[in-house]
Structure 1
């Protein structure tokens, strides 16, 4: 199911934009399942873009939707669930990466985990052409903020949602996206 521009277009059983008392378990489950179907792929891609390994990616996506279940069940604000979902994914991925970095620095007894899985994904195979490789190199070379803004925009988030997820102003989002798109256009003209 492809998500529409707004959460309310998903026809959720619980009113979006409402902050109400805790909901009935069946309504909560149905709402979370609809949101899971709509946003799982985008959350998975975003967490991947943040550098989380294949082995840990599914766990983080699962944690996001467990947190969503709790959020909805407690009657919390449902005015921007898509932005809320990506914000939680962002925070969990960064927290996970920081934890992994601490483990490596401390010489943990745990088996070292590769940063990236070397197994090519369908996306990797699709992007293997010369043009795609050049554009990906440009994206990789972008400053972190510009790259994150571009990745969230590619997942369909609006500027205001990106602003909330990254904790930056709308003007910073617009400037970051303008810089990133200008660099991509220049690279594509070569």
Structure 2
């Protein structure tokens, strides 16, 4: 008497066909995992800056606002990273606007510091006013203050320019990831997406 046998492609819970689908999907998701890595890097870097700025938050309102702003940016980067690994199509939008907010925060702070520095007495003039006896050694502090203000303007101007380039590029990069997630979700079987969401990798 012949005995019917059932053969499977694999001894595991997934057949070889399923395994090939999972592997192919993993390869296609590389661009999304890369974006998640960028978000993680940005989150850690912003978090370190926020931590370093925290002591200044105690002594000035501007320092407090900057620290809070940096903390929010850090939180959103990690939140966006988590949503990227869940293939949430709105995650790149969140991350993109987060970088725009970061850009506005830095430019606003630098502009404020520029205005304060350029419209107030320089440190040398202020020191001479506080200690008139120093005027014997320094005939005039105007030249020193002029150089100081030029240095301050150059420094904050460079920060504004570099921030515009770096944060602007980051925002553009994030916004353009949305189409990749959309295409990935549309071309990946639902059961594969569910599996990857249960076991996110980066």
Specify if TM > 0.5. Answer: no
Q: Which has the higher helix share?
A: 2
Higher relative contact order (CA 8 A, sep 6+): 2
Determine which structure has more spread, i.e. the larger CA radius of gyration: 2
TM-score, L = length of structure 1? 0.31
